[in-house]
Every structure is written in structure tokens, then in C-alpha cells.
Amino acid sequence: MKILIIEDEPELRAVIQHFLERELFLVEYAEDYRSGMDKIISYEYDCILLDIMLPDGSGMDLLKELKKLEKKDPVIILSAKDSVDDKVNGLEIGADDYLAKPFHLAELLARIKSVIRRKNQDGESRLQYSNISIYPDSRKVMIGDKELALNRKEYDVLYYFMSNPEKILQKTMLAEAIWGDYIDQAESFDFIYSQIKNLRKKLKDNGARADFQAVYGIGYKLMS
């Protein structure tokens, strides 16, 4: 799952990034309004952590632009301003949650998981497709009643497909979601084929009733 931190305080940003990476999130950051806008226009995120007070603009204005673009990325506002008016304004504009600084990292993590669950899982604690179940809070994958052992990237790939079942996912979209924005530097997407091949074998060997279907020249989709 990919997180974007839009925060101008280097120390706080680094603490949040380090904590979330330890929790196995893919984390990117922007330090001002301009770079934040570039990120949200170019990529999709499972959750955006948005500071209100940025050096070259307002986080509220950035949130408004996000909604104008009709993007569905969940947003949690992080702000030192803890007034009721600020909270109401942020939520009315379209934020999914509001967390006042200072905050405990454990609470931030719980709120991130909550907004992602609401977005991808309709509030459920698991994703289900055919006889495959994913429990994101514990990163556990079950095929029927048998647990499936996956490495980090295999899990991330499967989670992304399970969040978008029976939809054609372009290779570029998949690469950006799993490997982040530095994927622009990649010369080819052969590594995606390798991950899909390994994951397909593990699913088949463990009795999964779903498989990846290649769509020539475009990408893949998960089908039962």
C-alpha cells in the first residue's frame, strides 16, 4: 500500500516515513504545495497525509484541487490547528479524517488502516475473491483454510489485483502502485512479468481458483 506524505517539517516527515516503512508501506513525500500537486496529478495513492500549512500554499487548497480532479485517494489532514472550524472545513471539502498535531504514531497507523479499509474493502477487515482471502491488517493471505506464504512484493501485487478484481491493470499502473514513482527510470517492465509468474505458480500450487490473465500489449487482470 502506497502512502504520500505532504509535510514541510523535515523531522516530522522523516519520523512518519521511517515508521510507516517499518510497517511495510511504500512511502513517498512532498515538502510543499507545488511538489504535492505534481505527485497527486501524476500518481495514485492508498492514502495521502496532508499538512494544512505549507510554505507555498494551503493544504486545504490542495485538497480542493484533488477533488476537482475527481481523484479518490483517501486524505488524512495533519494539522497543528485543532479548532472545530478547521476540522469541519477539512471534512466538508472532502478529507476522510483529521488528526491534530502532536499525535501518537500508533493512532496515525490505525487511522490510515481505517481509511484504506473503507476505500478498498467497504469497511470489511478482509478482501475476498473466489477462494482467496487477504487480511491487510496482518498481511495474511489464505486460500480456503490454508495460509499462503508470500514475499513482500508478491503480497503487494496480489493485494492490488484483489482491490481491482476482473479489471485490466496496465503494466505502468501496476508498477507505479507497487514500486513507486522512481519506476519512471526503469528501462522495461520485465520484473512485473517475473512477479506475476512466481505468484501465479504459488496460487496454482495451493489450490487457488483464480489466475492472472494476460491482456496482450496492455497488462493483466485477475479472473476466477
Answer whether 47's CB lies under 8 Å from 115's CB.
yes
Q: What is the percent of the chain with per-residue pLDDT over 70, rounded to a whole number? A: 91
134 versus 217: the higher-pLDDT residue is 134
pTM, full prediction: 0.65
Q: What is the rounded average pLDDT of the residues 91-111? A: 88
pLDDT confidence band for 169 (50 / 70 / 90): confident
**Of 4-13, 101-110, 171-180, highest mean pLDDT:** 4-13
State yes or no: pLDDT of 92 exceeds 90: no
For 109-124, what is each residue's pLDDT tens digit? 988 988 887 776 555 5
Q: How many CA atoms lie within 13 A of 84 on its CB side?
A: 0
pLDDT confidence band for 152 (50 / 70 / 90): confident
Q: How many CA atoms lie within 13 A of 25 on its CB side?
A: 23
Q: What is the rounded average pLDDT of the residues 195-215? A: 91
4 versus 87: the higher-pLDDT residue is 4
Q: What is the percent of the chain with per-residue pLDDT over 90, rounded to a whole number? A: 32
For 1-55, what is each residue's pLDDT tens digit? 789 999 999 999 999 999 999 988 889 999 999 999 999 988 889 899 999 889 9
Scan for cell 475473491, then name that residue: 129
What's the chain look like in SS3?
Answer: CEEEEECCCHHHHHHHHHHHHHCCCEEEEECCHHHHHHHHHHCCCCEEEEECEECCEEHHHHHHHHHHCCCCCCEEEEECCCCHHHHHHHHHHCCCEEEECCCCHHHHHHHHHHHHHHHHHCCCCCEEECCEEEECCCCEEEECCEEECCCHHHHHHHHHHHHCCCCCEEHHHHHHHHHCHHHHHCCCCHHHHHHHHHHHHHHHHCCCCCEEEEECCCEEEEEC
82 versus 74: the higher-pLDDT residue is 74
Q: How far apart are CA 33 and CA 8, in angstroms?
A: 9
Provide the grid cell at 72: 479518490
What domains are there in the chain, each with its CATH number? 2-121 (3.40.50.2300), 127-223 (1.10.10.10)
The verdict on whether omega for the bond into residue 136 sits within 30 degrees of 0, i.e. cis, is: no
Give the CA angle between residues 136, 141, 142 to the nearest 5°.
130
Q: What is the rounded average pLDDT of the residues 140-168? A: 88
pLDDT at 30: 94
pLDDT at 72: 82
Whole-number mean pLDDT of the chain? 85
